[in-house]
Amino acid sequence: MKRNGINLFVLLIVLLCCSNNLAAQLNITPKPLSEELQKGTFTLNSKTVLYSNLQGEERKYVFDLLKESPLKLSETQKSGKKNSVNLILVEKTAEYPSFESYQLSITPKRITISATNGAGLFYGIQSLLQLVNQNEDAKTHKLPAALIKDTPRLSYRGLHLDVSRHFNTKEFIKKQLDMMAYYKLNRFHWHLTDGAGWRIEIKKYPLLTDVAAWRPYNTWKDWVNNKMDYCTKDNPKARGGYYTQEDIKEVVAYAKSHFITVIPEIEMPGHSGEVLAVYPGLSCSGKPYVNSDFCAGNDSTFTFLQDVLTEVMELFPSKYIHIGGDEAGKEGWKTCPKCQARMASENLKNVEELQSYFVRRIETFLNAHGRKLLGWDEILQGGLAPDATVMSWRGEEGGIAAARAGHQAIMTPVTNCYFDYYQDVPSTQPEAIGGFLPLQKVYSYNPVPDSLNAEQKKLILGVQANLWTEFIPTPEHAEYMIYPRLLALAEVAWSAPERKSYTDFHERALKEVDFLEKHGYHPFPLKNELGERPVSMNKEDHLALGKKVTYKENYYPNYTAGGDSALVDGIRGGWSYVDNRWQGFMNKDIDVTIDLGTSMPIHSVCANFMQIIGPSVWMPHDVEIKVSEDGTNFTSLKQIENDVPVDNDKLTFRDFGWEGDTTARYVQYVAHQNDKKGFIFTDEIVVK
């Protein structure tokens, strides 16, 4: 019995290893809902034929995809033949909960992809292509017999690209659409206008592309550090560009053939300095290069925007038109006679309600043309327009508020979805705007908050990755920032949470990086990843741990790092100040006193600070460390001057501390704001 038991155990191990080897061949990203391995293999070769009952435009999309793939299949008019690939439309049933659902059956005789819609067949083909591409150079492909049932978790699965700060060609856009489709993403959010440049031809307003699309500087950074002016295309220093309406039509048609909807963004009321530079009458001052917000009291503003949106809607069939709505300063509105008159006539209490009036008026226009308004979460300010959808970027709060109010929302929080953040140790990476968003953090995101009830959760349409391009001047750099993080986002959006495993995904992502490189993309070399800041990996043990901290100045409400205990909780910060480990103070000093509870020997007091000047995060001007026995009379131990230059534009960390011998109960730590103002961040005051 014992011998037979051992033999049975060995047999089980062998079978398990074989099963794992076959499972390893099902490297599909995003992870399907279910994968059932079966006996045998299918050999796909030059004699394999293709059948489909799909008709019309969608049939052309699917067949065009296959023509461009490694599968060189000749068409047959009969279904179910041996050595065939069959694309079958079926009736809607519970097994196909979405029009994007599909089933992929591989048997030794044939391959069958079934779906209720062309989109489902398209995604089934993408999964088949991923299996084939694991050995794409082979003349024949042996695929393990399997039954894959798959459906998306979320209906909106997006990528946003900013082409205002740095222009990218239509060829580049189409190249990214290819890979979006390959990983089952279905929304391309095209950020076409912003203060750095207008990128879409509007025939009624030619100055938008004759002047506002061009800058006499090589990069956005050069432009910001100089006059922030525009020029004509014939200026020898001109840099920029725009898409003609024919270019737009070409990209939209290409996206449609890949079952991707293109959502245009036309920024308003803020981020519009490029418009107001060439049409200054639409600003509060009436002068170029003064305002960046449209004048909300000027009816000409709405005439202009309606004209622009009319041409935009003729080019984009998308249900949604994105109007931006973020970061409007509204300063000009506070003193503008026209804006004040508008507020009086509409009984608006403040400029936030004036912004809401602005958004509602644009929404009414869009709704009258059969479209819906989509905007960043600032459109909540002053009251949300009746039928608007919120794109939540400043955390999840905007999306949660929208869903609780009965509005649809798309999650794209800066903490998990901003691909302009560093993805590895900042000193090893190209310059970025700041932050730290490694692959694992993207993958860990759950876009449907547990705080919502079942009905509210249904209003979370999906999730989106955002690539802003302030510090991304080349297409190669853009791809470096997009991939492989976009694959993680794709799995977040598509795969059921219970099917996700970062260990499994990471293994697949390493292979996909090789695939991307082979196909002319420029992904981040994942195999060389270094990871999170070492000091953040373990809790710091020290004398002040868990002790009472008294604040003279309040920390910034968006960067509390956990509140009053944050500076003595033993949790050190990572590479980014948005990781909820760094406590921030805006335009004020840090002045805190720690009560150690009893007098004790102290040999060191130290805190760590960071500087990244893009988002105005600075080192303190200086730090002073004091101690006391009674909490009233303090003795200064040391004053440390900052030696990091204010023009140092690299992410920099510096310790400000004292070492020596003293005895005290209270420790006071004061970090003075420098002349630049902005933020000071520290993570822990370590007392030993």
Rounded Cα distance between 160 and 469, Å, is: 11
Q: Which of 58, 100, 162, 194 is catalytic?
A: 194
Rounded Cα distance between 280 and 268, Å, is: 15
Q: What are phi and psi of 117, to 5 degrees?
A: -155, 160
Task: Give Cβ neighbours of residue 81 (< 8 Å, ≥ 6 apart).
Answer: 49, 51, 110
Q: Vertex 448, ends 442 and 453: CA angle to 5°?
A: 160
Q: Name the β-bridge partners of 160.
A: 189, 466
DSSP string over 422-434:
BSS-GGGS---SS
| Residue type (1 letter), 548 | K
Q: Which of 311, 327, 529, 532 is catalytic?
A: 327
Round to the nearest angstrom and report the end-to-end CA distance of the chain: 63
Task: Give Cβ neighbours of residue 211 (< 8 Å, ≥ 6 apart).
Answer: 230, 231, 232, 277, 278
User: Tokens representing 61?
Assistant: 């999309």
Q: Name the β-bridge partners of 198.
A: 193
Bond preceding residue 288 cis, omega within 30 of 0: no
Rounded Cα distance between 501 and 511, Å, is: 16
**Tokens 């509204």 -> residue:** 330
**Residues 71 and 125 sit within 8 Å (Cβ to Cβ):** no
Q: What are phi and psi of 307, to 5 degrees?
A: -60, -45
- Residue ranges of alpha helices (H) inside 421-544 are 439-443, 454-457, 475-482, 485-494, 502-518
- Three-class secondary structure of residue 89 per DSSP: strand
Q: Which of 166, 189, 271, 322 is catalytic?
A: 271
Rounded Cα distance between 122 and 126, Å, is: 6
Rounded Cα distance between 426 and 649, Å, is: 12
Q: Examine the residue annotation and report whether 194 is marked as an active-site residue of this protein.
A: yes
Q: Examine the residue annotation and report whether 327 is marked as an active-site residue of this protein.
A: yes
Active site positions, annotated? 194, 271, 327
